[in-house]
Amino acid sequence: MNKTRHTIVALSLILGILYFSLLSDKGGIKEYQTNKDYADVMMNLQQGLIDKGYEIEKVQPIDNGLAKAGLNIKTYKVIFFNPRFTLEAIQNKYPGFSALLPLSITVAKEDGNIKIVSSPFKFLTNAAHGQDLRALIKLWEQHSDNIIQKALKQSETVFTLQNKAASTSM
């Protein structure tokens, strides 16, 4: 495995574990649960991101890394995506913030249920230095929420949506 790939896998593993560990205090992270088909949900999420103008950077399977760490989650992937039309402007105006990108949606299947977790938008908002960037993050959060809800509605299997969202107040 080359160094870049190893770094991406390690970073993905850390991010995934961080996302699920942060769920305990619900630091503004939204979690959804459904019993829909995993493949349908993944396909609908990716298509929703593309339709909304986001560029998918990578779909990173995390299950192998978790298995090596002693955790047994069979199906676990992180979709890394960037805002296609604003990324270059963000990198130019806020180079430090661009290190916090790409955005992500984490999808894991456990005990017959699928958990979907969005990027930690409250963290991103707190790290943003400009009002224009905070407004953009709010838009990304709304898009993410809408994309997840639409993906769940489009899947063929009957489901129960459980939006376990914490307050996103600053």
Residue 113 counted as domain residue: yes
Strand partners, 116: 32, 107
pLDDT attached to residue 149: 92
Residue-wise pLDDT tens digits, 2-36: 556 555 555 554 555 455 544 444 556 788 888 88
To the question of pTM greater than 0.95 for the whole model, the response is no
Residue 112 counted as domain residue: yes
Residue 96 counted as domain residue: yes
pLDDT exceeds cutoff 70 at 130: yes
Instruction: Please tell me the total count of domains within the chain.
Output: 1
Q: Which two tokens stand for residue 81?
A: 């995506």
For 126-133, what is the mean pLDDT?
92
Q: Which two tokens stand for residue 92?
A: 């130019």
Question: At 9, which helix (H) or strand (E)?
Answer: helix 3-22
Which structural domain range is residue 92 located in? 3-154
Residue 166 counted as domain residue: no
pLDDT attached to residue 29: 76
Residue 56 counted as domain residue: yes
pLDDT attached to residue 8: 57
Residue 162 counted as domain residue: no
Q: State how beta strands 113-118 and 31-34 pair.
A: antiparallel
If DSSP codes are grouped into helix, strand and coil, which group holds residue 101?
A: coil
Angstrom distance (rounded) from CA 55 to CA 46 = 9
Q: What CATH number has the domain bearing residue 12?
A: 3.30.310.70
